[in-house]
Amino acid sequence: MKLNVGIVGLPNVGKSTIFNALTETAKAGVANYPFCTIDPNVGIVDLPDARLEKLAQIERSKRIVPATIEFVDIAGLVKGASKGEGLGNQFLSNIRNVSAIAHVVRCFEDSDVVHVEGSVNPVRDAEIIETELILADLQTVEKRLDKVIKPAKTGNKEAKFEVQVLEKAKKILEDLKPLRSFTDQFEEEEIDYMRKTIFPLTLKPVMYVANIDEEYLPEGEDNEYVKAIKEKAEKENAPVVVLCGKVEQELIEIPKEERGELLEAYGLSEPGLNKMIRTGFRLLDLITYFTAGEKEARAWTIKRGTKAPQAAGEIHSDFERGFIAAEVINYEDLIKAGSLQKAKEQGLLRIEGKDYIVQDGDVIHFRFNV
């Protein structure tokens, strides 16, 4: 499965506007009616990272290649999606294929934009979608249980293990609670089983994206809707990104050199989408390491906990197969030294072996022999 973030929400909350701004395209249709988006739109987005720019400067790199993250714009869900309402089965299937969820909630009033539920209430909206995902998971668990109960009773060890996990999951889902809030009740192998066998929707990490009016920028402090969704998110230990989809759309429609002035007018230090991209990266448990030289400065994406040979394999399979060692320096130490050459002269580069776990911000040169 690709590591990507699915953008979900009720119809007319600003999902497609935000997706278009993210990808600086008009791939996702934007209109004032439900199900404007039916087939999911996919966009590859650069990860904003000032470290890479600085690294390129000190190494005088001719080219900069940032890390990327994939976002998927999924059509708006409605109440009853788990029973097939509003093309629900198709939409739930699209969510099943993403690794994390960015849940856009409407925190703005606009009489010209119809709300599918008739009023603005982000907590209610979030709960509608969450309930549909829970009910869909419950159906999946019950179907799987029907298949494995009989062999479990005959003593099949694998089936007995499955029944044990599924019954635990079923109890949580029957209480209309998402599985991600109860991971402490499962062993690591049980969670791994669920992810690989039944692909639970409610086990996916979630962030909330509060779409506000421009008058509440930069952080929506006085917006009661934002306060309400933050309170819900805090109980779930989920991050909240506050942005104005309308302003984000305006930003991409003007030349890059003029965007700073617009950001300043709204009290913003950067586009809100930058925060959304970085939060999505963290939700996927990804980190970046860097390679740098005269030819290019590049950020490489790996899962947290990846060891040096596998990190090298992201560059080329030969690097992993013939891995000898990694010359590593922390980004901050490199910046203080002023260049890779000066860092070498000062003895700041470390030689790490096959068991080294790569850290976010490592600048690495791999030694290999094939």
Residue 240: CATH number of its domain: 3.40.50.300
The answer to whether the annotation marks 305 as part of a ligand binding site is no
Last residue of a domain, one of 234, 250, 282: 282
Q: Which domain holds residue 339?
A: 305-368
Residue 141 lies in a domain: yes
Claim to verify: residue 168 and residue 122 sit in the same structural domain: yes
| DSSP state letters, 298-321 | EEEEEETT-BHHHHHHTT-HHHHH
Residue 322 lies in a domain: yes
Residue 45 lies in a domain: yes
The answer to whether the annotation marks 14 as part of a ligand binding site is yes
Claim to verify: residue 130 and residue 231 sit in the same structural domain: yes
The answer to whether the annotation marks 232 as part of a ligand binding site is no
Claim to verify: residue 245 and residue 319 sit in the same structural domain: no
**Considering only CA atoms, which of 294, 130, 267, 299 is closest in space to residue 201?**
130
Sheet arrangement for strand 350-352: 64-65, 297-303, 286-292, 362-368, 323-330, 350-352
* Mean pLDDT for back-to-back runs of 10 residues, the chain (370 residues): 83 89 61 44 90 94 94 75 53 86 94 83 94 92 95 93 97 96 95 95 96 93 95 95 95 92 94 94 95 95 97 96 96 93 92 98 94
The answer to whether the annotation marks 89 as part of a ligand binding site is no
Claim to verify: residue 333 and residue 219 sit in the same structural domain: no
The answer to whether the annotation marks 88 as part of a ligand binding site is no
The structure's pTM equals 0.87
Rounded CA separation 248/101 (Å): 20
Please name the helix (run of DSSP H) or strand (run of DSSP E) that holds residue 126, with its range, or none: helix 122-153
Residues 6+ apart with CB under 8 A from 119: none
The answer to whether the annotation marks 155 as part of a ligand binding site is no
Write down the pLDDT at residue 115. Answer: 79
Write down the pLDDT at residue 30. Answer: 40
What is the domain count for the chain? Answer: 2
Residue 121 lies in a domain: yes
Residue 293 lies in a domain: no
